[in-house]
Structure 1
Amino acid sequence: MTAFTLIDKNGATRTVEANPAPAFAKPTHPLTSRVAYAAAHVVPLAWADNTPGRPAEVDWDATIGFRRMVWSWGLGVADCMDTAQRNLGMDWAATAELMRRSGAAAREYAAKEGWGRSVADLVSVGVNTDQLEQGGDYTLAQIVDAYLEQLNVCEEAGDGPVIMCSRHLCRTAQSPADYVKVYDEVIGAAKQPVILHWLGEVFDAQLHGYFGSPDWREASKTVLEIIEHNPGKVRGVKMSLLDADSERYMRAMLPEGTMMLTGDDFHYVDLIKDAEQADPRTGGRAVMHSNALLGAFSVLAPHASAAIQALDRGDEAEYLRILEPTQALAQQVFVHPTEFYKTSVAFMSWLNGHQPAFQMVGGLQSARSLPNLSRVVELANDCGAFERPELAAERWNALLAINGIAR
Structure 2
Amino acid sequence: MRGLTLLAADGTTSEADLAEAPGYARPDGALRSRVAYAAAHVVPKTSGDNTPGRPADVDWDATLAFRRHAYAWGLGVADAMDTAQRNMGLDAAATRELIARSAEVAREEGGSVVVGVNTDHIDDEHISVDAVIDAYKSQLHFTEEQGAGPVLMASRHLARAAQSADDYRRVYREVLGAATTPVVLHWLGTAFDPQLVGYFGSDDWRLASDVLLEIIEENPDRVAGVKMSLLDAASEVAVRDRLPEGVRMFTGDDFNYVGLIGGAEVPAATQPVSASATPRSHSDALLGAFAALTTSASAAIQALDAGDPDRYLEILGPTEALSRQIFAAPTFYYKTGVAFMSWLNGHQTAFQMVGGLHSARSLPHLSRIVELANAARALEQPELAAERWHAMLRLNGVIA
TM-score of the pair, normalised by structure 1: 0.95
Secondary structure class of the residue paired with 1:356: coil
2:241–2:278: 8 Å Cα contact kept in structure 1? no
Q: Give the aligned partner of residue 318 of structure 2.
A: 325
1:2–1:393: 8 Å Cα contact kept in structure 2? no
Give 1:5-404 correspondences, 5 Å limit. 5-110=5-110, 122-133=112-123, 136-275=125-264, 280-281=272-273, 288-404=281-397
CA deviation vs aligned residue, 1:186-216 (integer Å, no higher than 9, x gap): 1111111000000000100000000000000
CA deviation vs aligned residue, 1:315-369 (integer Å, no higher than 9, x gap): 1111111110111000000000000000000000001000011000000000000
CA deviation vs aligned residue, 1:92-120 (integer Å, no higher than 9, x gap): 0000000000001111111xxxxxx5xxx
Deviates more, 1:36-45 or 1:16-25: 16-25
Q: 1:350 to 1:240 in 2, by over 3 A?
A: same
Q: 1:285 to 1:151 in 2, by over 3 A?
A: closer
Distance 2:370 2:174 in 1: 45
Distance 1:180 1:97 in 2: 31
1:303–1:323: 8 Å Cα contact kept in structure 2? yes
1:26: how far off?
0.7
Deviates more, 1:192-201 or 1:29-38: 29-38
Structure 2 counterpart of 1:315, one-letter code? D
Structure 2 counterpart of 1:124, one-letter code? V
Distance 1:13 1:166 in 2: 43
Secondary structure class of the residue paired with 1:302: helix
CA deviation vs aligned residue, 1:52-72 (integer Å, no higher than 9, x gap): 000001000000000100111
Deviates more, 1:225-234 or 1:368-377: 225-234
Structure 2 counterpart of 1:52, one-letter code? P
2:240–2:280: 8 Å Cα contact kept in structure 1? no
CA deviation vs aligned residue, 1:129-184 (integer Å, no higher than 9, x gap): 111125x2211111111111111221111110000000000000001110111111
CA deviation vs aligned residue, 1:40-62 (integer Å, no higher than 9, x gap): 10000010111000000100000
1:285: how far off?
10
Deviates more, 1:26-35 or 1:198-207: 26-35
CA deviation vs aligned residue, 1:197-247 (integer Å, no higher than 9, x gap): 000001000000000000000000111111011121100000000000100
2:242–2:274: 8 Å Cα contact kept in structure 1? no
Deviates more, 1:27-36 or 1:254-263: 27-36
TM-score of the pair, normalised by structure 2: 0.96
Q: Give the aligned partner of residue 114 of structure 1.
A: none
2:399 to 379, 396, 406: 406
Structure 2 counterpart of 1:357, one-letter code? A
Secondary structure class of the residue paired with 2:209: helix
Distance 1:378 1:333 in 2: 12
Distance 1:226 1:12 in 2: 53
Distance 1:292 1:39 in 2: 10
1:38: how far off?
0.6
Distance 2:129 2:183 in 1: 20
Distance 1:32 1:280 in 2: 31
Q: List alignment gaps of at least 5 residues for structure 2.
A: none
Distance 2:278 2:210 in 1: 21
Distance 1:13 1:162 in 2: 44
Distance 1:128 1:71 in 2: 25
Distance 1:317 1:185 in 2: 45
Q: Give the aligned partner of residue 4 of structure 1.
A: 4
Distance 1:46 1:174 in 2: 44
Distance 1:76 1:215 in 2: 32
Structure 1: which 4+ aligned runs deviate by more than 6 Å? 282-285
1:276: how far off?
5.3
